[in-house]
Structure formats: structure tokens, C-alpha cells
Amino acid sequence: MLFNSLGFIVFLAVVIALFYLVPHKFRWIPLLIASYYFYISWNINLIVLIGATTIISYTTGILIEYSKSKKVRLACLLFSIISSLGVLFFFKYFNFFAQSVVEFVRLFGVPVSDFSLNILLPVGISFYTFQTLSYTIDVYRGSIKAEKHFGYYALFVSYFPQLVAGPIERPDNLLPQLKQNSKFSSDNMKIGLQYVLVGFIKKVVVADMLAMYVNSIFDNMENANGLTVIIATLLFAVQILCDFDGYTNIAIGVAKMMNIDLMKNFNNPYSALSIKDFWSRWHISLSSWFRDYVYIPLGGNRVGKFRHLFNLFLTFLLSGLWHGASWTFIIWGALHGIYQIIGQLTAAPKKKLYAKMNINTESNQWKALKNVITVILVCFAWIFFRANTVGDAFVLIGTIFTGWGFSLTFISDSFEKLGMTAFMFVYIIALLILLTQLGKIFIDKKDKFVYEDQSTSTRIVRKVLYVILGFIVALSWIYVVSQLGYVNEFIYFQF
């Protein structure tokens, strides 16, 4: 069931009504049933997978807490990690690795036939696997107590707003909130609806619209020239942010309607001044997960310089692999790892150089330059992320440097290849302007934005604006569905 489908709107209304009608003690029951219904609406067989993952992590969590023997605790932890990662590996990576081995063997002239299993990638498996792993590891570290109530634990694993594409929640944040006695709060309902509206604007109005132009280049290589590749890459950078952040906003909003605060996943990533800064703003729940459960256990930066750089690289490589079983994602992760290493190695010399050259690194111009460089590096890596194959990515990159024409019709031909008319060009500019202004009109009391004039007049104008934005979402949805012939999935569902 997609967030941007009509079925979900009905489902959500029923769940919210049940949530507040059922006494607090039993609320986990309708929520758990709703979460499982939400999940198996993709494929009923998925219930076995999420059920098994839940039972294993729940049981090992209890055993770790009650066992006095260090060896037993460690064995339980390893069993939980290996079984969770084993399931993830089998369903997500087996065919990829098998095919990679086959191709590697063929390099030596050994005739080997293709080998793959007919496995369907379960939706959201990477997200809930990481969530259960953080639970088991935290129980082992003693930073949280094992959850005794199986119902609440199963709900923690399967909570539908964030089940299929995060944010990857931590048990110490989500579990206590699932248990709290929530009373209906009109403020939270209002904030939740605002988040949902913003999420739909980002996904339906912006991301889905841009997807049509991005696909016209990345899925039709014959349309690629220097200009179209650059435009498509920039549009993809906006598309993936709006797609994923849109999902996150909807998830946060839906949870907020039940008085539950999910963690923030994005913080203006394209305003980053360095790649390191970018990763503190992009997919925060995943980057913090890798930091806490991979990078720091590897030694983080409290080791020798070489080991530190290795830790950084490995963490980003694994982050790339997490995104998908494809060399494109691995290269994308590796590129970010290399960016980080170069950033670390050049930090001190750059500082000295700037001091020598009397460059004011606090000036707005300097920050703008750093931001532009960061965005270019990020966009370069996005080419690998979006390309269908590594070969395609290299062809597209090559085209950026070679595919330019000097005739007067080059620009108009390029826009024709993108399928973009003059009207649509202006339309997209308007979309991007709206996108940059969204933060000004939505209040989130928790984040304590203070941009708002609270006068009656402004509040009513804001409501009028919400109605207009609601129309924009509804009509854009109709337009996109009529153009594509189907409801567009969220990009991160495939991970």
C-alpha cells in the first residue's frame, strides 16, 4: 500500500479512529494488525519474513538480558546478527553476488552459465532489519532493557508509518512512545496533517513531476548530450530528496497524529558546506546508524590515521551496498568514502593555505563556493546512483564532457530530448520556488520555528493557503497518474 494511493487515505482514517477509540492498554493490538495489514498488502508471504525476524530478535533480546554468562550473551547476539543479516543477504544480495562470481570466473575463460534464484525482494527489509539489529546490540551493550511485551516489540519492528522506508528508529526513542498513554491532541493532529501535506507536495507535486524528465535521459540513453545529462542529474538530485524526504514527512506526520515523534531524517542536505556536512544532513537515521554500529565499533577516529581512513571508507562502502545489490550503489558509496578521505587528508593543508592566502573562510562568498563544490560532488555521485548500469553511468559522465554542440538549435534540441516545453520549464522553476518556501509556512511546535506571525489574519490566510496547496497536490496526483498510467512508488521502497 503506497502512501500516495487513495487506499492509504482510507486506511489511515480508520487506523487513527481506532487508535483513539480503543483503550490505551489495548491500542497496540489494532496498531499491530494495521501495520501487518499495511505490510502484507504488497505480498502476503512477507508476513513470514517479518514475523521470523521479530521472533528471533525478541527472543535473543530476552536471552541476552537474562543470561549471566558472557559467552551465552555473545552467542545470542551473534545468532541474532547472523540470522538477520543472513535473511537480508539471501533476499537482497544472493543473486547479485552469485552473478558477480559467475562474471568473475568468466573473466578467466571458464564457461559458466548464469545462476540466479527467483527471489522477490521484500519491501523495506533493509529498514526493519537494521532496526532489529540496533535493538539487539543496544540490549547487549546494556544501553536499553529488553522489551518483555511481545506485542509492543512486534509493533516496534513493524510500525507502519516508518516500516518500508524509515526513518530507521532506535528502540529507546520509539518503544516508550508506543507504550505511552496518548490522549487526542488537536495540536499534534494539526502538525501531523501539515507534515503529511508537505510530504505530498514534495512527493506528488515535485518528485513525480521531475521523474518524468529524469527518466527521459537515464532510461533513454540516446537522448543524452552534455546539457541534458547535466539537467537530468540536477533534477534527479531534487527528485530523490523530495521523494525520500516527502516519504519521511508523511511518516513523521502520520506518527505525529498518534502523538509519536519519529526522528528527523533530513536537514537541508543541499545547503551542506562539505561532504561530511552533507552526511550529517542526508538520511540522518541511516548515517547515524552506521556511525553507532559500524564506524565507532571499528574504532572511529580513535585509531591510527590509516585505520581511521579505512574505517571511513568501509562505512561508506557498506552504506552504498545497503542501498542496493548493484555495482552502481557500491561505486556511489565508495565515491562518498573517497570524498571523505580526501577531505580528511586535505583539511590541515587547506587550513594553512587559506591562512597564508588571507582567505576569509567565514565570508558568505566562500561558503557559497564551498556549497557549490559540495553539490557538484554529490550530483556527480548521484549519476552512479541513478544510472541503470555502471556502463551507463560512465557513458553519461563521458557525455558531459563531450556531448556538446555549437549550433543555435542545440539548446532547443536538448530540451526537446528532455521532453520539456517552455511552459514546463517555467512550471518547474515555479515548483522549485515553492519548494524553497515551504519551511516558511508550516509551524512545527517541537522544532520551535519562530517564523510565524500568529495574528488571526495570518492564521486564516495560512488556512486558505493550505486549501490551495491541497488542490495542487490532488490535481498533480491526477496529472502524474494520467501521464504514467500508474501510481509512482517511492524510490527508497526498493531498498
Partner 1 sequence: MTENLFATSIPIYVVLAIAIGLILITIEIHINTKGVLAVIGGLAVIAGICLCFVAGVPIIEIVFMLLISAIFIIAIMSLKGKNKKIKDVEKIVTDFQDILSGENNHEDGKKSLTITLDDTDENIVIIDGDKTDITAETGVIVSVGSAMGDIVIADVVIITNDINQDNDNININCDKLSDTNSSITTENIEISQNNIIACDARSEVEDVI
Site residues (vs partner 1, CB under 8 A): 170, 172-173, 205, 263-264, 267-268, 271, 273, 276-277, 279-280, 284, 287-288, 291, 362, 367, 411-412, 415-416, 420-427, 430-431, 433-434, 437, 440-441, 445, 447-448, 450-462, 464-465, 467-469, 471-472, 475-476, 478-479, 482
Contact present, 312 and 295 (Cβ < 8 Å): yes
How many other β-carbons are positioned within 10 Å of the β-carbon of residue 308? Answer: 18
3-class DSSP state for residue 450? coil
Beta carbon nearer to partner 1, 233 or 414: 414
Give the chain's radius of gyration (CA, Å). Answer: 24
* Minimum separation from the CB atom of position 303 to partner 1 (A): 18
CB neighbour list of residue 187: distance below 8 Å, 6 or more residues apart: 445
Distance CA 253, CA 442 (A): 12
Contact present, 188 and 256 (Cβ < 8 Å): yes
**What b/e string do you get for 183-220 counting C-beta neighbours within 10 Å, with b at 16 or more?**
eeeeebbebbbbbbbbbbbbbbbbbbbbbbbbbbbbee
* Minimum separation from the CB atom of position 195 to partner 1 (A): 15
User: CA torsion sign, 451 to 455 to 461 to 464?
Assistant: positive
Compute CA 447 distance to the chain's CA centroid, rounded to the nearest angstrom. Answer: 21
Contact present, 262 and 169 (Cβ < 8 Å): yes
Distance CA 121, CA 115 (A): 17
* Minimum separation from the CB atom of position 94 to partner 1 (A): 33
Beta carbon nearer to partner 1, 105 or 461: 461
* Minimum separation from the CB atom of position 400 to partner 1 (A): 21
- Catalytic residue at 24? no
Beta carbon nearer to partner 1, 283 or 386: 283
Beta carbon nearer to partner 1, 108 or 486: 486
Write the secondary structure of 361-374 as one string of H (helix), E (strand) and C (coil): CCCHHHHHHHHHHH
* Minimum separation from the CB atom of position 302 to partner 1 (A): 13
Beta carbon nearer to partner 1, 361 or 494: 361
Contact present, 348 and 305 (Cβ < 8 Å): no
Beta carbon nearer to partner 1, 30 or 462: 462
User: CA torsion sign, 234 to 240 to 245 to 246?
Assistant: positive
* Minimum separation from the CB atom of position 174 to partner 1 (A): 10
Contact present, 73 and 67 (Cβ < 8 Å): yes
Beta carbon nearer to partner 1, 69 or 437: 437
Contact present, 70 and 193 (Cβ < 8 Å): no
**The one catalytic residue among 283, 308, 323, 336:** 323
3-class DSSP state for residue 73? helix
With cell 483503550, the residue in question is: 23
* Minimum separation from the CB atom of position 422 to partner 1 (A): 5
Instruction: Please list the active-site residues.
Output: 323
